Structure 1
């Protein structure tokens, strides 16, 4: 089946979808994005993703071209037209096509570009890796300073993922000034003596929507949470480790830089948090 995508208000076969070569998303990575997971044909954490989209656009002074209700309708249309049961909807908003290339922002009335497409991921919540855990390596964090804005400039995270792949593992944790910032496309956590530890929100990390939900659910489950930085050495000595993201949900980490975390197997806290998160998300999906 040919995939249907959304481009600036039109639903098109993917082979007919086009964006100008002068679009600033293409020329300058001048845009932001969100990824909403779909389980059982329903959208997860949609309101949180829309709130972060608005925040990212405002930080870059890009006018939000659609209301949340319009984004929701487009997401639902794409899920239906592409028969998505489990998967994701990718949304990208750029500053648009000013008709030429210039470092300066174009006139304020330049119409932003909006693109959306789906990815089918059958069995998304039943990933085998959730039973075995990820192995990761540490990589120096060389990204720009505003990682809290979910921009489309993903070259360095892609390079870090490829380094992890070349080293035979699943992902990388990025390290700055001796402390873990986050994963290449996820937030990072360790567990020690029953306490969940993750870096506090700032410009240095993405304000993860799944992160917010997991920390709220952990508090409701009477689990202790500390928002602070930690080192790779501390992570290697932890009882457990895991990451969170919109597509991985809660994913255990069992090895860091060749050293096992805890007993080198998936731990109870990560397993429980994944169960709680998926259960709650299925209840609240729209």
Structure 2
């Protein structure tokens, strides 16, 4: 982890996003703190959500698309007993369940329902998702009063644990922890759990605790970054994420211009190519007898 004054080089910042801010707002703040215009993020978080937002600086914005960021982890709270227009606490309540119906929802019934959402499942995204429908975001159409119908998609929920169940007269709160593939909507899991139990449900808290190999131990709040801007150099991220190849001077010259290389025994998938001075140069992959560039980060 590198600390520096503004005008940092290429790297990754792992932000612990607060509630109430959009991902776009977080990027804007990182842009000011880092003293660079070239900032991007991977994996949007809704304003109500907190937790991991992976942000790229300068040339590392291009690295984001090559990092293994598909697997994510979340802690969340589902409120059973009411549905909302947005499948979360920010929407208007649509329906409520009777105390009698809630009284029939036991911890055992919740566990049984949750089991049906583990593994490879078909999920209809929330209507207020960022999915584009005829060129416009679904949430934009919903907020404009339009009716939106989204198609189901397959996602993977590799872990779905019930951590706690708290019952009251008008609602049941369920704390959950989930590992899932990119494209999984936790709001939809909350909605569908309520449907399965017959009482309705929506999300009241969401915290992303992991994106790929980045977890909360590597994350910093905006306040902490404002006091001491901490970032991961692109060379460190590439070296820890991909197999490493240390090129000699002649090979490094070829890599800098994206030329194919012969005689290298690279494994499957991208390999991080480094120059003799330790500079991260590119990602290369094996293509038959040649190693060819996937992305070049110098020059």
TM-score, length-scaled by structure 2: 0.23
Higher Rg: 2
TM-score, length-scaled by structure 1: 0.24
The structure with the largest strand share of the pair is 2
Identify which of structures 1 and 2 has the higher relative contact order when contacts are C-alpha pairs closer than 8 Å and 6+ apart: 2
The structure with the largest helix share of the pair is 1
